Structure 1
Amino acid sequence: MSQTAKSLSPNDEGVLTGSPLFSPLSKLEFDAVAACLEYRYIAKNSQVFSEGDPGKELFILLSGELNAYVTQSGGIQRWMFNIRAGDFFGEMSIIADEPRSATIIAKVDSELMVLKDTDFYHFVSRHPMIGVKLLKAIGDVQNTWLEQNSRHLNDLMRWGETARKRAITDDLTGLYNRRFLEGLIKNRFEQGIVQVRNIALLMMDLDKVHAINETYGTQAGDKVIIAVAETIQQHLRNGDIAARFSGDEFAVLLQDTNDDDGRVVAERIRAAVFLRKIPVAQSPGSNEETVISVQVSIGVAAAPADAGDAESLMLRADEALLKAKNLGRNRVEVADSLPCPPPETETA
């Protein structure tokens, strides 16, 4: 960085008076401050100052462009923002006596105007109107920066929440996905929760849903999946977790529930699914609608009574589901239980 004499051209003066720092000043006030400014030239790739340096100067970029970097763990420098003509920086070091918070490097050959801390406080103490305007300008820029970063952080938080939600939910139904539910079940065992609080797992499979896709189209199939998901949710208790495993397969984790109570919840869901009427197109691409119903087979297993780990619990519930399908569908079966009485409704 070199320091040379420089008289301000009309263009230079326009840049400075247009700066957020000096724009509130009158012509006389600006002239008084400008008389105290020092000119400095900084060559491309040279540093203005380094992160952690003590600072006694405030800078206004007259021409060129600067980059600000902060040091991450491992000593890696991360780019933070650009500084362009008219921007000021370094003010916190002279206001709060703080070390430099970033490293500033010239992206191209650049010109700076410098206001030393002694001159800054001279205006604050001897010319309070100028001092107040300078401090207010700094405060306004800080507030704007904080608001922008707050919005940015809020956007990041919303994006992060959206990404997290998409990672654990099924796009079509809004239920949790298989990965989430399987992880939750494993957690219940790993944390020892299952030893003191029973859990039951319902594994569900829609009966002959492929025939619906073939007859009415895949959009009808999606409507059926969504309707069944809604029905399942409507018949759960607080704390119960529903998930779509894949295609027409669903699962529900019931808290504080044994085999018998799990059967009751499963039967409630089975009956509600069977009774729900779902409007779909009469045929693929048709504008005419018809109403259809669907049936579901459900297998129930509980822990710790039926299984000692997550994999065994899911396997036992799957075995009970297979039994329900083999015994005629549209029914509930419990792991290692006697066959349920056949439901009063028609089977597929």
Structure 2
Amino acid sequence: MALFYNNQIELLKGIAIFQDLLEEDLHFIASHMRQITFKAGDILFQEGDPGEEMFVVIKGGVSVFIKDQEEQELVLTEVREGNYFGEMSIIEKSCRSATCRATEDTLLLALHADSFSKIIEVIPEAASSIMNRMLSIIVKRLMRTGAFITQMVQYGEESRKRAITDPATGLFNRRYLEESFEGLVAKAIGERQSLTFVMFDLDRFSTLNARYGQEFCDNLIVKASYVFREVFTKDDILIRYGGDEFIFIFPDTDKGKAQIKCDSLCEAMRNMKVEGHDELRLTCSMGFATLPEDATSPEELKDKADKALYMAKEKGRDRAMPWNG
């Protein structure tokens, strides 16, 4: 262990951001780093994971990549022995912008953001030197590969947006709901705000499908999405859950305000014109539940909104009903 520790110190001396530090400072930094081993093919972290550690490669190597819309991997960089990656995570604590995988059996040293805060507190001059060198190296990287990085960042953002967007309507999709709903509920509870969850169905959509065909009804869905945007505000979250099923989430909206919004949408749907089909009149049914008066958890909120939607259909459709259990 002592031999490995000494080798660890020597390795740190060769890393650009740790160069020219005092011996005792290097020992202090090394004592706050942990060893991690990975087998070839192991994933270190996924895109979107919390980023709170930077890594130094002692042995082996890793590949950093994103996936395109067809799930093909685009390698951004490969990091080998004696180099480091993830340095911005110990400062910004931002989510990972890419996925990292060991390309062979790999030994790393990891420095956690909390440990770096301790370094700043105890040896501030060394910490300042590290951050200045980080900044200088990052600037050089950007100057060398600025266009590529910009394109990759934009591509990553666009890829992420595509992954959570319904291609037909441009609204959020089911994946977005699954990934974000718990966080939205937790935020509302933490800030002591109301939040209303709405479930929406087009009335008798299967009958329309049988009569007019799938292509026609797909176009109806798109037209309906335009109406949603016209009725609701930019703060309202609009999600296509599947087929003619939609979810609307109204942040900071109590039951009374939610009823007004939903009633407005019912009216707008009745007035929606379909070119070449003057005989067609569309209606919709909605059920909704509101935090905190109706539920205290995401699942309870969904369940009560679903039951309210069932009640709206039982009452004759073409209406929006709150949970009144």
- TM-score bracket, shorter-length normalisation: 0.5 to 0.7
Q: Give the deviation of 1:296 after TM superposition.
A: 0.7
Match of 1:306 among 294, 302, 305: 294
SS in 2 for 1:253: strand
1:295 paired residue number: 283
2: CA distance, partners of 1:247 / 1:300: 19
1:210 paired residue number: 206
1:75 paired residue number: 59
2: CA distance, partners of 1:300 / 1:101: 53
SS in 1 for 2:277: strand
Q: Give the deviation of 1:189 after TM superposition.
A: 3.2
Residue type of the alignment partner of 1:180: Y
SS in 2 for 1:251: strand
2:274 paired residue number: 278
Structure 1 residue 172 and structure 2 residue 168: aligned?
A: yes
Contact 1:209 1:294 survives alignment (8 Å): no
2: CA distance, partners of 1:152 / 1:188: 34
Contact 1:194 1:303 survives alignment (8 Å): no
1:109 paired residue number: none
In the superposition, relative to structure 1, how do residues 331 and 79 fare at CA in structure 2: closer, same or farther (>3 Å)? Answer: closer
- Could you report, residue by residue, the CA deviation over 1:231-268 in whole angstroms, capped at 9, with x for unpaired residues? 11211123111101111001111121111111110000
Which runs of no fewer than 5 residues in structure 1 stay unpaired?
1-51, 55-70, 81-99, 103-144, 280-288, 338-348
Residue type of the alignment partner of 1:232: F
1:24 paired residue number: none
Q: Name the % identity.
A: 28
In the superposition, relative to structure 1, how do residues 297 and 72 fare at CA in structure 2: closer, same or farther (>3 Å)? Answer: same
Residue type of the alignment partner of 2:277: T
2:219 paired residue number: 223
2:182 paired residue number: 186
- TM normalised by structure 1 equals 0.52
- Write the mapping of 1:1-348 to structure 2, written as runs, cut at 5 A: 73=57, 75-77=59-61, 149-191=145-187, 193=189, 196-279=192-275, 289-291=276-278, 292-336=280-324
- Could you report, residue by residue, the CA deviation over 1:106-154 in whole angstroms, capped at 9, with x for unpaired residues? xxxxxxxxxxxxxxxxxxxxxxxxxxxxxxxxxxxxxxx9677222112
Contact 1:239 1:255 survives alignment (8 Å): yes
In the superposition, relative to structure 1, how do residues 79 and 231 fare at CA in structure 2: closer, same or farther (>3 Å)? Answer: closer
After the TM superposition, which segments of 4 or more aligned residues of structure 1 sit over 6 Å from their partners? Answer: 145-148
Q: Give the deviation of 1:193 after TM superposition.
A: 3.1
Residue type of the alignment partner of 1:76: G
2: CA distance, partners of 1:271 / 1:214: 25
SS in 2 for 1:200: strand
Residue type of the alignment partner of 1:251: I
Contact 2:57 2:83 survives alignment (8 Å): no
In the superposition, relative to structure 1, how do residues 156 and 195 fare at CA in structure 2: closer, same or farther (>3 Å)? Answer: closer
* Larger Rg over CA atoms: 1
Q: Give the deviation of 1:75 after TM superposition.
A: 2.6
2: CA distance, partners of 1:53 / 1:173: 50
- TM normalised by structure 2 equals 0.56
Residue type of the alignment partner of 1:159: Y
Pairs aligned (count): 203
Residue type of the alignment partner of 1:233: R
Which runs of no fewer than 5 residues in structure 2 stay unpaired?
1-13, 17-54, 65-81, 85-140
1:91 paired residue number: none
Higher percent of residues as helix: 2
Residue type of the alignment partner of 1:290: H
In the superposition, relative to structure 1, how do residues 74 and 233 fare at CA in structure 2: closer, same or farther (>3 Å)? Answer: farther
1: CA distance, partners of 2:269 / 2:63: 56
